[in-house]
Structure 1
Amino acid sequence: MTVEHRVAVRDAVAGILASRVPAVQGRIFRARTWPLSEAELPALLVYGWQEEKKRTGGTAFRSFYAVSFILAVEVRLNALSRAGTVLEAELEQLSGAVTAAVLQAAELLLPPDRKIERVDGVKTTLGIDSRSSEVAIGSALIAFDLGWTEVFEVPSPAVDCDADATSIAFRPIPPVQA
């Protein structure tokens, strides 16, 4: 797999969320910073968080790796003059919709457009910032642990000889006397 593959996974998840989570009204962004004001929330950020490759076998020229790729989906909500408990319930509902949309996305796991081999886990962290008495900002981080296998091959070294112009001759070697 390549960097382009990771981009394709993130783009596929962003597309799935755009079509299956109508509450965000298409406000799904592929960056780690918010291009929005509080009035334009709820919104989602989709980005790669962490990647780990572990060798599972192979030869000197061909190695197999199990890849664990943490894909983050960050959820942001705002609540003008609403209780934190109401905001928390809305945040839980939206986080649940994001999780269900990704876990039920056959296009990620099944041919012909298969992007990943498996979802190894999901971890959700909720938070509410209520520093102001008028506005509370709710955020959730949903980390999807996605997995697949990658193969890396070392190119064979170039052989700089002409097979037609090369010959091999064997000669007997006398035994060594002690």
Structure 2
Amino acid sequence: MSETVPPTRRALVRDVVAATLDAGVPMVRGRVFRARTWPLQREHFPALLVYGYDETKTLTNMSRGEASYDVTCTMAVGLRVQEKSIDTPGTEADLEALAGAVCLSVMTAPALRLSRRGGGLDVSIGAARTTLGIKTDGETAIGEGVIAFEMAWQEQYALPPPELCEEFSLALLLTPSVP
């Protein structure tokens, strides 16, 4: 029987970002996925893919019983739109609109911030990098992009108490010397 492992903070942040996008970006409602691969066929576009990677934890303080870390993580949102013709200006406009809606939704998400009532994940967003592109597939224009949000938060871990030795014994073993 396996134990249930609680989700990591990164997974919680990813889930909040995905839920925020699903609720806040109407053009992709019901098509926001929490995975790194596209589980989609073309008829499902436009769609978003939310995943976290490149997490770093840096020790900031260690005292008896607790270790504190500053955590930085890149949370990525993949975007994909498709036009039924090689209308690259239309595809570009759709991709730009989707990228703008994603940035606005994530950068202003109340569920990521700490509220006065104590809710929220207390996440800060230090930067957002957007990369967009359009490719053609026969008679279809496909717009793809990634918005990488640099996020930061703090984590504390309870340390186990140091093991104390209650007994101490010493044993000597005599080894004969070789002449």
TM-score (norm 1): 0.81
Greater displacement, 103-112 / 146-155: 146-155
SS at match of 1:102: helix
Gaps of 5+ in 2: 1-5, 168-179
Question: Of the candidates 108, 114, 124, which is equivalent to residue 118 of structure 1?
Answer: 124
Residue type of the alignment partner of 1:89? A
Alpha carbons 2:23, 2:29 under 8 Å: kept: no
Q: Does 1:139 align with 2:134?
A: no
Residue type of the alignment partner of 2:147? I
> What percent of counterpart residues are identical?
40
Aligned runs of 1:23-34 on 2, under 5 Å?
Answer: 23-34=27-38
Greater displacement, 33-42 / 105-114: 105-114
Aligned positions, number = 160
Greater displacement, 137-146 / 113-122: 113-122
Q: Does 1:150 align with 2:155?
A: yes
Q: Does 1:45 align with 2:53?
A: no
Question: Hey, what does 1:173 align to over in structure 2?
Answer: none
Question: Hey, what does 2:175 align to over in structure 1?
Answer: none
Q: Deviations over 1:93-141 (max 9, x none)?
A: 10110110011111210233221331111111001111x3401211110
Question: Hey, what does 2:172 align to over in structure 1?
Answer: none
Question: Of the candidates 155, 164, 169, which is equivalent to residue 159 of structure 1?
Answer: 164
Alpha carbons 1:116, 1:146 under 8 Å: kept: no
Q: Deviations over 1:149-176 (max 9, x none)?
A: 12234322232439xxxxxxxxxxxxxx
Aligned partners of 2:90, 2:73: CA distance in 1, in Å?
33
Residue type of the alignment partner of 1:143? A
Alpha carbons 1:14, 1:28 under 8 Å: kept: yes
Question: Hey, what does 2:98 align to over in structure 1?
Answer: 94
Q: Deviations over 1:21-51 (max 9, x none)?
A: 0001310111111111111100111111210
Residue type of the alignment partner of 1:49? Y
Question: Hey, what does 1:105 align to over in structure 2?
Answer: 109
Question: Of the candidates 69, 84, 96, which is equivalent to residue 65 of structure 1?
Answer: 69
Aligned partners of 1:146, 1:86: CA distance in 2, in Å?
32
Q: Which has the larger radius of gyration?
A: 1
